[in-house]
Chain A
Amino acid sequence: MKNKSLVSINDYSKEDYLEILNLAEEFEKNPVQDILRGYVIATLFFEPSTRTRLSFESAVNKLGGRIIGFTDAGTSSVQKGESLKDTILTVANYSDLIVMRHPIEGSARFASEISPVPIVNAGDGANQHPTQCLLDLYSIRKTQGKLENLNIAMVGDLKYGRTVHSLLMAMSEFNPTFNFISPEELKMPDSYKHILKEKGIKYYEHTNLGDALPYADIIYMTRVQKERFSDPIEYEKVKNAYILRNSMLENTKENMRVLHPLPRVNEINIDVDTNPKAYYFEQALNGVYTRQAIITKILGIK
């Protein structure tokens, strides 16, 4: 992993995931260290973000490193028509590692091929968001004590949701059972179901939110994303389709936890927030430790 960009969850092997998770665990015990002193990390966010950007920045700041970058392409020369290539080559002069989020798919892969410093993909359009996947794995392992043989319910936008696609790929290394709960229009694409079939992994599809919840170890909620829809009317039809309420959690397992990559709109009702099984805010905190692990691994410090 040293000096190699992290663009797609498929860039890492199962052993790599476990190395990162173990290192993240160490950082959780000791998140403030001076090991990034003298390092400059660039965060280039061409698209909005709260959690990802701030958790990367917190991760670096706690380890004594410094952040440069932009949070909006409008404040950079991209506004003047500068290409992504030139932007990356320029910023690489000023930093040791670049974290980037960009609306165009494949942008991070391209950047990793031209950049002299490693690239960490913080989200390229609807394609990949590997650090989210790793923090999701960390959260699952932390709450369940293991990654193997779990029952994972994925709810909401399974067609366009990059987080569920990446999580599916990563978890498929650990012999899970999947329950997919979504409206017809947003079903898990065939290409992923095909991969599960080939790996002999069981999955079940439901349209009714209540159906699979009692069996789940993890309920992974997702937002139906307005920005991924080309047709706004289509979005209006499905946006309220699957709302999780506290009453629905009555017959769920003791160890079950509700995860959500956030931001949420209304798909998790706020009455769930006080339920001890609601884990989504702690999940976001795990992002700091996971990203500390990723950055220090790539920079060869750990």
Chain B
Amino acid sequence: MKDKTLSVSAIKEGTVIDHIPAEQLFVVISILKLHTLETQITFGTNLQSRKLGKKAIIKIEGKFFDPVEINRIALVAPQAKLNIIHDYTVTEKRVVEVPDTIVGIARCMNPKCITNHEQVTTRFHVIDKKKVELKCHYCEKITDRKHLEII
């Protein structure tokens, strides 16, 4: 399916991440550390989407993600879809899944949590994947979607 308003060259070998909420584009780029890659990356944002209203899309040449890597964006882009491209063709489609444990991505919303006082990497156990409820491994308080802040 080609979007007529987006004219970007197709990639030969790599990954396309589609259905990112537009406002999360740069958060996704940050989480996946795409700014450290040396290969060609194209992205578009504020594209029309029936599902999301406004979506963003990222095309990354020469990079493939393993599930652990890519699932890190599930918190902010739960409906993201991956197209794996080989030789200009989509060889595989994948979805992201919220993992059971989230390390180092989200902030604990409890101001009295040790992670907000000392240099401690945050760690959460996901207790509700649909509602995105994260239980802090340290202070045991729950950070919900409303208060979710990506660091």
Residues of A whose CB lies within 8 Å of any CB of B are 8, 83-85, 103-107, 109-110, 124-128, 191
Q: Is A84 a contact of B118 with CB atoms below 8 Å?
A: yes
**Interface size bracket, B side:** 10 to 19
Q: Is the CB of A84 within 8 A of B140?
A: no
Set A109, A126, A191: member contacting B138, Cβ < 8 A: A109
Interface of B is mostly: loop
7 intermolecular pairs with C-beta atoms under 8 Å apart? A84-B118, A104-B113, A105-B114, A106-B120, A110-B118, A110-B120, A125-B112
Q: How far is the CB of B125 from chain A (nearest CB, A)?
A: 12
Contact partner of A105 among B118, B119, B141, B142, CB < 8 A?
B141
Within the assembled complex, what's the spacing in Å between the Cα atoms of A247 and B117? Answer: 47
- Quick check: A84 and B142 within 8 Å, CB to CB? no
Are the CB atoms of A107 and B114 closer together than 8 Å? yes
Q: 1/0 per position for B114-133, CB-CB distance to A under 8 A?
A: 11011110000000000000
Residues of B within 8 A of A110 (CB): 114, 118, 120, 138
Residue of A nearest to B133 (CB): A191
Q: Is the CB of A106 within 8 A of B113?
A: yes
8 closest cross-chain pairs (CB), A and B:
A106-B138, A105-B139, A106-B139, A106-B114, A109-B138, A110-B114, A107-B114, A106-B113
Shortest Cβ distance from residue B145 to the other chain A in the assembled complex, whole angstroms: 16
Contact A104 B140 (CB under 8 A): no
B118 touches A128 (CB 8 A): no
Question: How distant is the Cα of A177 from the Cα of B8 in the complex, in angstroms?
Answer: 65
**C-alpha spacing A104/B117, complex, angstroms:** 8
Residues in B with CB closer than 8 Å to A85 are 118-119
Known: A83-B118, A84-B118. A191 touches B142 (CB 8 A): yes
> In the complex, which of the residues A8, A83, A106, A126 contacts B115, with contact meaning CB atoms closer than 8 Å?
A106
Give the chain B neighbours of A124 by CB distance below 8 A. Answer: 139
A128-B139 Cα distance, complex, nearest whole Å: 9
CA A191 to CA B138, docked complex, whole Å: 18
Q: How far is the CB of B122 from chain A (nearest CB, A)?
A: 10
Q: Within the assembled complex, what's the spacing in Å between the Cα atoms of A128 and B137?
A: 13
| B137→A105 contact, CB < 8 A | no
Asked if B20 is at the interface of the complex by the 8 Å CB criterion, the answer is no
Interface residue from A104, A106, A191 paired with B136 (Cβ < 8 Å):
A106
A105-B120 in contact given A127-B139, A127-B140 (Cβ < 8 Å): no
Task: Collect the chain A residues with CB atoms within 8 Å of residue B110's CB.
Answer: 105
What is the bound-complex CA distance between A105 and B112, given in angstroms? 6
